[in-house]
Amino acid sequence: MAGNFWQSSHYLQWVLDKQDLMKERQKDLKFLTEEEYWKCNSAALYFMQQVIATATVYFKRFYARYSLKSIDPVLMAPTCVFLASKVEEFGVVSNTRLISAATSVLKTRFSYAFPKEFPFRMNHILECEFYLLELMDCCLIVYHPYSPLLQYVQDMGQEDMLLPLAWRIVNDTYRTDLCLLYPPFMIALVIDFFQNVLKD
């Protein structure tokens, strides 16, 4: 992990402006409501949370620049998980596990739209990975709010009481554009503030 957020590609290239993000998303929002858009993007596979968070950021980065029609999100989602598992040193996910997890998500959450098996194979995911890397200009390091949040909670000396709720709130922020709009330490600080307000 790179040491300085302010000199990282995450900060220099991927903290976006809300107006630009919405302008790019207008094409997709003609066909989906904002709520439907987020439901489509929130299906998660069963992996370590850091991998899911990184994959979610990759997915959002791609569709912040391109329409949902450019590459099928059903193909892009497992591609992001596949790339994130390598970047986060989770280990390469086996082809069989990745395809079966994608099939499982389609069958359980989107069976109304995809009555059959996962329509793509591993060669499609590998090809899509190159498009994803090209769009992101190989900027693969993603800073997450987890570390700063842990530090804030530890500084307050209330890890046992505050950390479980704070962690769930961080996970929920990945359903929004916050990871594209604000630095992770700021997201962690706001979450820390909210949970202290809720506690009192």
> What pLDDT, in 10s, does the model give residues 124-179?
888 989 988 888 888 788 888 888 888 888 887 777 777 778 888 888 888 888 88
Q: Is the pLDDT of residue 43 over 60?
A: no
Q: Is the pLDDT of residue 114 over 80?
A: no
In a shared domain, residues 124 and 175: no
Window from 15-19, 43-47, 169-173, 185-189 with minimum mean pLDDT? 43-47
Q: Is the pLDDT of residue 42 over 70?
A: no
Residue 97: domain span = 18-135
The one-letter amino acid at 171 = N
Q: Supply the pLDDT for residue 6.
A: 67
Nearest to 10 by CA among 118, 159, 123, 139: 139
In a shared domain, residues 131 and 71: yes
In a shared domain, residues 121 and 168: no
In a shared domain, residues 77 and 153: no
Q: Which residue has better confidence, 98 or 190?
A: 190
Q: What's the mean pLDDT when you consider all of the chain?
A: 77
The one-letter amino acid at 165 = L
Dist CA 188 CA 146 (whole Å) = 7
In a shared domain, residues 23 and 81: yes
For the ranges 23-27, 79-83, 117-121, the maximum mean pLDDT occurs at 79-83
Q: Which residue has better confidence, 124 or 67?
A: 124
Q: Supply the pLDDT for residue 12.
A: 67
Say which CATH number the domain at 170 has. 1.10.472.10
If pLDDT is split at 50, 70 and 90, which confidence band does 45 have?
A: very low
| 126 within domain boundaries | yes
If phi over 0 gives left and psi between -120 and 50 gives alpha, with beta otherwise, what is residue 113? Answer: alpha
Give the number of domains in the chain: 2
> Which residue, 102, 135, 168, sits at the end of a domain?
135
> Which residue, 116, 135, 154, sits at the end of a domain?
135
In a shared domain, residues 105 and 156: no
Q: How confident is the model over 9-40, as pLDDT tens digits?
A: 666 666 667 777 676 666 666 665 555 554 55
The one-letter amino acid at 21 = L
In a shared domain, residues 64 and 113: yes
> Which residue, 83, 105, 135, sits at the end of a domain?
135
If pLDDT is split at 50, 70 and 90, which confidence band does 69 have?
A: confident
In a shared domain, residues 81 and 163: no
| 1 within domain boundaries | no
Dist CA 154 CA 92 (whole Å) = 32
| 12 within domain boundaries | no
If pLDDT is split at 50, 70 and 90, which confidence band does 44 have?
A: very low
